[in-house]
Every structure is written in C-alpha cells, then in structure tokens.
Copies of this chain bind each other. A is one copy, B any other.
Amino acid sequence: MHPSRWGDPARAAALPDTARGLIEMVFGLDERPALAEVSVPPPAIDTKVLDELAATLGAEHVLTDDATRRLRTRGKSTPDLLRQRAGDLTDAPDAVVRPGSHDDVMAVLAWAVAHHVAVVPFGGGTCVTGGLAARRDGFAGLVSLDLVRLKRLLDVDHTSMTATLEPGLRGPEAEALLAAEGLTLGHFPQSFEYASIGGFAATRSSGQSSAGYGRFDALVVGLRVATPSGEVSLGSAPANAAGPDLRQLFLGSEGAFGVITAVTVRVRRLPAEKVYEGWRWPSFVDGAAAMRTLAQAGLLPTVIRLSDEAETAINLARPEEIGQSEIGGQSAGGCLMITGFEGEPDAVSARRAAVTAVLSGLGGQSLGEEPGASWVKGRFDAPYLRDSLLDVGVLVETLETATFWSGLETLYAGVRSALEASLGDGAMVLCHISHVYETGCSLYFTVAQKAAADPLSQWLDAKAAACDAITEAGATITHHHAVGTDHKPWLSAEIGDVGVSVLRAVKADLDPTGVLNPGVLVP
C-alpha cells in the first residue's frame, strides 16, 4: 500500500467526470500537489540492541530502511493520510520486526521488555482510529511488530465448522485458503482487501455481511495470545460458564494486552448462491423501521444497509455513478436500502421471499437486482475515492456509532447537527445504517467539505463535536473501529472510571512494563 493513499495504485483511478463536475460545482476544485517526500527520522534504537533481535529472527526480519518504516507509520484515517501528505513522519517506528511464529513473537516481547522498547503490533495497517500511533516517550525506542509472516491456515475442522487462522492473513488471503476447503468466513468490512485476521479480532471489526455471518467477535471461538506475562490459550467450547469470558477481553484489546497469534473462527460453507437487490423507502425513518421489523422477526438477510436521503441523493453507495440522480433507471429520491442473500439456493429463495413479503407489506418499493449488483461492484472502493477527493482539496472522512432502536432518531439528529455546525455551510453529511441487531443498529456517517487551510484541525474539531454528540446520546463511541488513540478521550464516558480502572489492571497484569502499544486503548 502507498503510505499516504489507499490500496493498489493501479486501481486508484482519477475521478469520473460526473463526480468531478459535481465536486467542482459543490466545493470548487483545489488541486493540491504532493509534497516532496520527507525521509523518516533515523532509528532511535541502538544498533546493538537491534542486532540482538536480528540474531533471533534473522537479520532479514529486522528492517530499518526508509520505505519499510514509512509504510508502517500510522494507519489509514483521513488524519493519518493528511499527516503523511504533510510530510509528518514523527510516528515512524525505529524498526520493523517480522516474527515468523508464536515463539518468535514471545521472543520479540521478551526482548522489548528487556530493553524497554515499545511494540506496535501491525497487521494490515488499515486502522482508522490512531491505533498504530503509540506513545514513544519514556521508551528506548519503538518497533512495528509486523505479522506479515504469520499467514498459515493452522487447522480446519469440517465437523465443528471451525478454522484456525494466523493473524497476518489479510482478508482475501484467508478467504482463498478457506475457499480451497469449500468454506468462507463471511467477514467483508470495507477494508477487507488489506485488513488482517489479527486486526479483525483486536479491533472487534464488523463486516458488510454481519447480519448474516455475524460480527467478527461473534465468529471467534478461540484465541492464542502472546503477552509479556506468558501465553494465553482460550476456547474450550462454543460457550461456557467457566467464569468471565476472557476471549471477550482479548477481542478489542488492540495490541495493548498481547499479540494475537492464532484465531479460531466459526466458518460457513461457501454460498452456492448470492443475490443482492435494492429497495426504496419514502424516508430514513420508514426504512429503519422496516429493518427493525426484520431483525425482531428473525428474518434478516445476509446483507442489509440503508442510506439516508442525503446519501441516497449523492448515490454514494455507487461511487462510479456519483452525481447521477437515478437508481435502477428510476428517478431517485427517498432512501435506498440494499439487501443481500447468500447460501444454498433453497434457503436463499425462502429467506428472500419472506423478506420481500415483509418489506413490500411495509411500503418498500423493490428496485430489483441492479442496485444490488452495483453496490457489490463498488463495495470496497470508497477509500480510493477519498484519495481522489483529497487530491482536489475536498476533505472526506467517515465515523460510526451504534445505539438501541429507541435512541436512533436522537443519535442521528445529534451527530448530524454536530458535524454540520462544526464543518460549516456547504458541508455534506451523509449517513447509512450499516449493521442491524434485534435491539439496535449502527450509524455510519460520511462527511465532505471543502478542505480548509488546515484540514487536519478542521476534521479533528468536527470529529470531537461528533464524539461529544455520541456521548451525549448515550451511544457507543465506536461500533466497529476500536478505540485507538482517537477515541480514548471519550472512553471513560462509555465504560466509566471503574471500567477504565479494570482495563488498567488487566494491562498491568499482562504487560507490567507497559511496552505493548503504549497510549493506545487504555486511558
């Protein structure tokens, strides 16, 4: 991946003309040339100390070159990209170390404790909450612990329908290994093409098919974790009552409690059939009520998402057609819902028929399969679009939250208002419901505004306003992107001072010298 852009350069197409025209009309075009590249600072760790690690891992797995360190600097939030574009490489690791096994990871941790070096576990590098920007002051240095060599499918159990995966596997790599066994994990977040299995677990990721396959934390039945205090191996049964569920303490631990070295997940058979379709609703409230009805009737499709009026109008669900005010050949308006069904043909037909009956009965208008196919085509492309917009001086970023159904309207209005007030006239605030449960759902906001002279402060102010509104509404500061460093100021509002104290106690027990991702997650 490029250090200041998303994904594969070959896929980073220029803005389509329709989009370019729309953007010029709304925001004006303000092409911003890339800065001359700045070098990463020289490594702060003593060469002899690194040599010690090289003796264990092999010299080829302890890297200090500019390009490698640059690529392990922060993640892929808009602030991360803006800092890179501005030549700010202050968070670059001193070295990138690449353990090849669980035992290697244990050795790196022992080395880090011995020399008081901070360790930042690195999977796909797609974090959007500052989880890769650990604090380095007080430490002898900081290394990126790159899990890229831990890419094996360790075990497949076709009877129990579980698979054990190493953390460095990226989404498509894991799916390819499972597909060879006729299986799928069914976890497809927008970052799927680059994010890793370890990252999914460490951040409680949730994918676009979560209604059908479940959130990643719900897929995990077992974990192996390397910590400075020793190894933890959990997962004696699908569920148990042997005290608190400690798996749920490592899921979402963001590299601050340990390094996840293996994850055992529930898998499903590869779906024989997949079909996606579109529905139009008169309003966001109507569409949301329909989602709630489906969830509470136990009738959720595999995929379900609902754009609000603004997002539907801008057609963000289909980046290649932004600015075209038609959906499926019909004039736009209202709110677009995408539903998807995956599985055995009979099950797909039965589920689809039941969902269709409910949605039609509630006043939904079927738009057929075209909008569904279009959504599938562009489902992983939004981050490329962000780069193109940043290039022409448009600030774009996303944030998400979740609440119970009864709090939905208040949360939606509160976060919208906060973003609009902070970003000022002309800001676009778009939203969709991205994940649905019996008791509530998540809201995923996308904002765009003409970039100010200091776009970083512009966004950080807007984000703070949104986080305050989320906290005010009693909702979660993050439904599926973890705490990192960005959400930390709001964590105690969500879990309380006693909750924070528990996190500190667990951290102190597992990582007594605090070398693991310092400053991330734990306030």
B contact residues around A504 at 8 Å (CB): 509
B contact residues around A69 at 8 Å (CB): none
Q: Given contacts A206-B239, A230-B497, A476-B236, is CB(A246)–CB(B502) below 8 Å?
A: yes
Bound together, the chains give a CA A203 to CA B499 distance in angstroms of: 20
B contact residues around A406 at 8 Å (CB): 157, 159-160
User: Nearest chain-B residue to A488 (Cβ)?
Assistant: B243
B contact residues around A67 at 8 Å (CB): none
Q: Work out how many copies of this chain go into the complex.
A: 2
Interface residue from B157, B245, B476 paired with A242 (Cβ < 8 Å): B476
- Report A225-252 CB contacts with B as 1/0, cut-off 8 Å: 0010111111011111111111011111
Does A483 sit within 8 A of B, measured CB to CB? yes
In the bound complex, do residue B252 and residue A249 qualify as a contact, i.e. CB atoms below 8 Å apart? Answer: no
A-B contact pairs, 24 of them (CB 8 A): A162-B439, A203-B241, A217-B245, A230-B496, A230-B498, A232-B495, A232-B499, A238-B439, A238-B440, A239-B435, A240-B476, A241-B252, A241-B481, A241-B483, A242-B478, A242-B487, A242-B491, A243-B482, A243-B503, A244-B252, A245-B249, A266-B439, A505-B506, A505-B509
Bound together, the chains give a CA A506 to CA B438 distance in angstroms of: 31
Bound together, the chains give a CA A253 to CA B248 distance in angstroms of: 14
Does A191 sit within 8 A of B, measured CB to CB? no
Does A508 sit within 8 A of B, measured CB to CB? yes
Bound together, the chains give a CA A266 to CA B244 distance in angstroms of: 20
In chain A, positions 455-500 with a C-beta closer than 8 Å to chain B are: 474-483, 487, 491, 494-499
Bound together, the chains give a CA A160 to CA B440 distance in angstroms of: 6
Bound together, the chains give a CA A203 to CA B241 distance in angstroms of: 6
Bound together, the chains give a CA A451 to CA B333 distance in angstroms of: 76
Of the listed stretches A19-27, A53-61, A78-86, A397-405, chain B binds A397-405
Q: Given contacts A502-B510, A509-B502, is CB(A243)–CB(B437) below 8 Å?
A: no
Interchain nearest-CB distance for A321 vs B (Å): 31
Bound together, the chains give a CA A483 to CA B204 distance in angstroms of: 27
The 8 closest A-B pairs by CB, nearest first: A248-B248, A505-B509, A240-B476, A204-B241, A237-B402, A238-B437, A160-B404, A159-B406
Interface residue from B251, B347, B407, B478 paired with A244 (Cβ < 8 Å): B251
Does A312 sit within 8 A of B, measured CB to CB? no
In the bound complex, do residue A241 and residue B479 qualify as a contact, i.e. CB atoms below 8 Å apart? Answer: yes
In the bound complex, do residue B494 and residue A502 qualify as a contact, i.e. CB atoms below 8 Å apart? Answer: no
In the bound complex, do residue A502 and residue B506 qualify as a contact, i.e. CB atoms below 8 Å apart? Answer: yes
Bound together, the chains give a CA A215 to CA B243 distance in angstroms of: 14
Interface residue from B157, B347, B482 paired with A241 (Cβ < 8 Å): B482
Does A205 sit within 8 A of B, measured CB to CB? yes
